[in-house]
Structure 1
Amino acid sequence: MPRKKVTDVSGNGGMKRKRASGKRRERDFSSDDEFDFEQENNKKSGKPTTKSGLQPVTVADDVKEKIKLECPKVKGQLLIFGATNWDLIGRKEVPKQQAAFRNLGQNLWGPHRYGCLNDVQVSCVVSGPCAAHSLFITTEGKLWSWGRNDKGQLGHGDTKRLEAPKLIEALAEHVIVSVACGRNHTLALTEDGAVYSFGENKLGQLGQGNQTDAVLTPALISYNGQPLVKVACGAEFSMVVDCKGNLYSFGCPEYGQLGHNSDGKFIARAQRIEFDCELIPRRVAIFIEKSKDGQIMPVPNVVVRDVACGANHTLVLDSQKRVFTWGFGGYGRLGHTEQKDEMVPRLVKLFDFPGRGASQIYAGYQCSFAVSEMGGLFFWGVTNTSRESTMYPKAVQDLCGWKIRSLACGKSSIIIAADESTISWGPSPTFGELGYGDTKPKSSTTAQEVKTLDGIYIEQPPNHHHQDYERSKTGLRNRRVTPNTPANPQ
């Protein structure tokens, strides 16, 4: 069975403050580049940018498209395996104020089911490679959430962690079709193209026009443009796509992951470095390609079809099956054969050939995936920082011949729905998220079939909406699982 050369776990991976090879930012555009960025880069070092020139996106009502996004068609049950101590996930120890939870929650090494969800039909389940909270959408478009909740990212109006899924009452009147999880924040997309956000907002990642510690109840983002059709979250930033294929970003710009040709750094009082965050959705105005000799050319006519975010990097798939990446460049996760951060979306050359385009994109914490239109799975970046980085997209040989239907990444583990099977891999330490079962190996650096799911058709692992919102396939079909216990779907 599949063999994979890369696997990943590193404490803080994409958030590392030190840069690979001690490099620091080079400008992506020199002053004599021939494009006019309009206000795209009016940032001055030494003081924050004034936001006066940045108005919320607004489109007159008579010009707005009328759309109705479809809920995923799948009717399935939620299966769960992995770590269950929410406050420990991604941390060395439970915070002092949560000391009561220190010894709670065993790891689930095989699939389990929540008893409280016996009658709930699930169509889509979502978490994220940075997240310790999870959500699912029912077949009626209702949104449920559970997990860590320090910043109100569960949307229940409080900061109590939840051991089992609970309906988000504040969104009960809406039909939710898609959702995305950041480290401590959440975006939810309704059928009419509106986006609600909740959770941490210290860096403007909720897009509500301000910076606050936490927003505990879902509120609309500050946007009145064309209806939105896609949402994605990085650790502390967010991306949305409108029905015309325009991409907007907001939140923390630290590594250029917002795509506005800046990392937003300025020197505040006492020589402290701070970031000029984008507090409302701002359109990503330019896409580029670089030639081998470093020449930069704009790429016209980019109509965005899908977007995926790692901790601090972003991938986009456009209508011509091209892939663009930008943000934090460490460990090769951008696929440009170098570790330099990219401030604007840059074309990944491998997929820019007739017949060799991409059909799906996925982002892990410090890595990226694309499924080519021929069906091959490509990987770049790292899943294990103690191993060599993959600096450009390489075919995952172990999965040649498998039809990849969907893929999800935790911090370091990967799980794939392929043909009728489920395949996973990840290095030690793991916490059961590979699903191999109590008596089986706990980790694997090579791709293995998840035998505990034999006979169960998995529609979608838990952290990515399918790239075509009109025909989202999610959740899972069939049944057969072990008793109920809470767990983390990462």
Structure 2
Amino acid sequence: MDAAISAAHEAPPAVVLVSAGASHSVALLAGNVLCTWGRGEDGQLGHGDAEDRLVPTVITGFEAPGITSVICGADHTTAYSEDEHQVYSWGWGDFGRLGHGNSTDVFTPQPVKALQGIKIKQLACGDSHCLAVTMAGEVLSWGRNQNGQLGLGTTEDSLLPQTIQAFEGISVKMIAAGAEHTAAVTEDGEIYGWGWGRYGNLGLGDRNDRLVPEKVSSVEMVLVACGWRHTITVSSSGSLYTYGWSKYGQLGHGDFEDHLVPHKVEALKDSSTSQISGGWRHTMALTSDGKLYGWGWNKFGQVGAGDNADHCSPAQVNFPEEQKVAQVACGWRHTLAFTEKKNVFAWGRGTSGQLGHGEIVDRNTPVIIDALSPDGPGSKKLESSAAIPFAAKIWVSPSERYALVPDEKVAKSGDVSARGNGADASVPENDVKRMRVSS
């Protein structure tokens, strides 16, 4: 197949949505075109190999019709075909996060057979677990469960999707997944939290874990998103609330204090929030008038405010010609957005090419992704996967390629160590999650 599907002088297909993982990014384009870029060593890009991609690259051979949703986990990716009523997943398979009944890595999109034929309303991916909300309002979960983030009443991992029985008789509207916790909003506007709760990120007024969903006492909510260890919600009136960990200012309350219950972000009280996204330790909010705000950990410029200082209050992100933003997505250390003019921008950490600019440098302000944007200079083409058999190199055992890196140490309750600007010694400064085994 030709290495490029669009000539430089032709406008790229319009962007439908974007999503970001730990160090990779995806975009769904009009015409059922799926692009990925960034880190690829776990197969999360879906190109049949473990290579990084520095520019958006079309997944060739993936011909599932009617793709309506593509969501990144930390090192894996999921997609949903509305025409087929089929979920697909690929990438790092440890703990069963791909839902295929095993823990092996997958290098090209593969159907989650256990979900075949189920009409899905929404997918959510955390660090190592995934969830799906059906059109009937039921919730299924799978993957890692060491803190009860699957909501099944146990701490056993699940290699296959299982229904969360606690929601029987309750219609769920939306779900969100953090590193080890999960949140949900029901059709009635009630919010639930479960899983790891050490920083109050469940919103239940304490720091305890929950193995099943528990209702949060709060105002009526319509949106929910999770950062790594914090939670963001939006009320029916458009007010923004956050709770959980705030060592880097990711709650946006003007300080670095944790909150154990939902707390209104006063800095945006005069704005109506229409969309939210949580990163590893930063937060983004889009208002109804198309303005984008960011705050939290900013070591790599992921807040987009033009500096590398942490922000404990919302800072507006500026775009060329004051373009209004249509969608935003937080990765771990980078951020993506596309505007109403269908231009795609990226900023933050770029060490694996996850910004899509063809280089591996960090950016602290939005920079246009040429290959995906009609206003790009036109010097880049939209690349395609190499012409390899689609079924080639699908299963590779993680144990054959990697050694596990020890988990991050968790600060004890009451720890008052230095705050802000990446001062937490337990936060790795690079993007390495797993190390290759020496041959």
TM-score by length of 1: 0.67
1:462 corresponds in structure 2 to: none
Structure 1: runs of 5 or more not aligned: 1-10, 12-71, 90-103, 265-276, 287-301, 458-478
Deviations 1:184-205 (A, max 9, x none): 1100111111110000111100
- Asked if 1:390 is matched to 2:311, the reply is yes
2:356 to 430, 435, 454: 435
| Pairing 1:136-175 to 2, within 5 Å after superposition | 136-140=79-83, 141-175=85-119
1:366 equivalent in structure 2: 281
What CA distance in whole angstroms lies between the structure 2 residues aligned with 1:345 and 1:351?
15
The superposition leaves residues 13-63 of structure 1 with CA deviations (integer Å, 9 ceiling, x where unpaired) of xxxxxxxxxxxxxxxxxxxxxxxxxxxxxxxxxxxxxxxxxxxxxxxxxxx
% identical aligned pairs: 29
Aligned match of 1:187: 131
- Whether 1:112 and 2:29 are equivalent positions in the alignment is no
Tell me the residue number matched to 1:5: none
How far is 1:412 from its partner? 0.9
Q: Which residue of the partner structure matches residue 423 of structure 1?
A: 345
Structure 1's 137 and 119: CA in aligned 2 closer, same or farther, altered over 3 A? closer
| Residues 59 and 384, structure 2, Cα contact 8 Å, conserved in 1 | no
Question: What is residue 196 of structure 1 aligned with on the other side?
Answer: 140
- 1:449 is displaced (CA, Å) by 0.7
Counterpart amino acid of residue 365 in structure 2: T
Larger relative strand fraction: 2
Structure 2 distance, partners of 1:456, 1:160, is 41
- Classify 1:434/1:135 alpha carbon distance in 2 versus 1 (closer, same or farther; 3 Å): same
1:105 positional shift: 1.8
Does the 8 Å CA contact 2:243/2:251 hold for their aligned counterparts? yes
Alpha carbons 1:377, 1:399 under 8 Å: kept = no
Please tell me whether the aligned partners of residues 383 and 413 of structure 1 are also in contact (alpha carbons under 8 angstroms): no
The answer (yes or no) to whether the contact 1:376–1:400 under 8 Å persists in 2 is no
Counterpart of 2:424 in structure 1 is none
Q: Which runs of 5+ in 2 are unaligned?
A: 1-21, 23-27, 302-307, 395-439
**Which residue of 309, 320, 335 corresponds with 1:414?**
335
Shift of the alpha carbon at 1:125?
0.5
Does residue 333 in structure 1 map to residue 333 in structure 2? no
Tell me which amino acid in the other structure corresponds to 1:358.
Answer: T
CA distance in 2, matches of 1:456, 1:217: 43
Q: Secondary structure at the match of 1:232?
A: strand
Cα deviations by residue, 1:428-476 (Å, 9 ceiling, x for unpaired): 5x21111113xx564323211111223499xxxxxxxxxxxxxxxxxxx
2:38 alignment partner, one of 77, 82, 98: 82
Q: Please state if 1:280 is matched with 2:212.
A: yes
1:132 aligns to what?
A: 75
Task: State the distance in 2 between where 1:337 and 1:450 align.
Answer: 32
CA separation in 1, counterparts of 2:139 and 2:217? 21
1:74-93 deviations in Å (ceiling 9; x for gaps): 7622111111102899xxxx
Displacement of 1:259 = 0.5
1:237-252 to 2 correspondence within 5 Å? Answer: 237-252=181-196
Shift of 1:483: 2.7
- Change over 3 Å in CA distance of 1:119–1:143 after alignment to 2: closer
Residues 44 and 76 of structure 2 are in contact (CA less than 8 Å); yes or no, is this contact kept in structure 1?
no
Q: Is contact 2:349–2:355 with CA below 8 Å preserved after alignment?
A: no
- Give the whole-Å Cα distance in 1 for the aligned partners of 2:384 and 2:355: 16
**By how many angstroms is 1:305 displaced?**
0.8
Instruction: Give 1:383 deviation, angstroms.
Output: 3.1
Pairwise CA distance, 1:348 = 0.6
State the Cα distance separating 1:398 from its structure 2 match. 3.9
Q: Which residue pairs with 1:324 in the alignment?
A: 241
2:325 and 2:147 mapped to 1: Cα distance? 36
Aligned to 1:483: 385
Are the equivalent residues in 1 in contact too, given 2:202–2:244 (CA < 8 A)?
yes
Alpha-carbon shift at residue 133 of structure 1 (Å): 1.1
Distance 1:158 1:246, change over 3 A: same
The one-letter code matched in structure 2 to 1:77 is V
Q: How large is the Cα RMSD of the aligned pairs? A: 2.7
- Once the two structures are superposed, what CA deviation does each residue of 1:269-296 show, in whole Å capped at 9, x if it has no partner? xxxxxxxx2111100014xxxxxxxxxx
The AA in structure 2 aligned to 1:482 is S
Residue 61 of structure 2 aligns to a residue whose secondary structure is helix
Q: Which residue of 2 aligns with 1:273?
A: none
Q: 1:158-184: CA deviations, max 9, x gaps?
A: 111101110100010211121111111
Maintained 8 Å contact 2:276/2:285? yes
Instruction: Describe the SS at the equivalent of 2:243.
Output: strand
Are the equivalent residues in 2 in contact too, given 1:456–1:480 (CA < 8 A)?
no
Q: What secondary structure does 2:232 align onto?
A: strand
1:380 to 295, 304, 310: 295
Runs of at least 4 residues of structure 1 off by over 6 A?
none
Return the offset for 1:425: 1.2
> Is 1:346 paired with 2:248?
no
Q: Residues of 2 paired with 1:168 and 1:179: CA distance? A: 13
Whole-angstrom distance in 1 between the partners of 2:203 and 2:258: 11
SS of 1:170's partner is helix
Q: Which residue in 1 is equivalent to 2:408?
A: none
Number of matched residues?
347
Residue 399 of structure 1 and its aligned partner are, at CA, apart by: 5.8
> How far apart, in 2, do the equivalents of 1:349 and 1:369 lie?
15
| Counterpart pick for 1:211 among 143, 155, 158 | 155
- The separation in 2 between residues aligned to 1:196 and 1:156, in whole angstroms, is 14
Shift of residue 385, structure 1, vs aligned partner: 6.7
Q: Deviations over 1:287-340 (max 9, x none)?
A: xxxxxxxxxxxxxxx211100100000100111000000000111100111111
Paired AA for residue 285 in structure 2 = A
2:371 touches 2:382 (CA, 8 Å); kept in 1? no
Relative distance call for 1:280 and 1:145 in structure 2 (3 A) is same
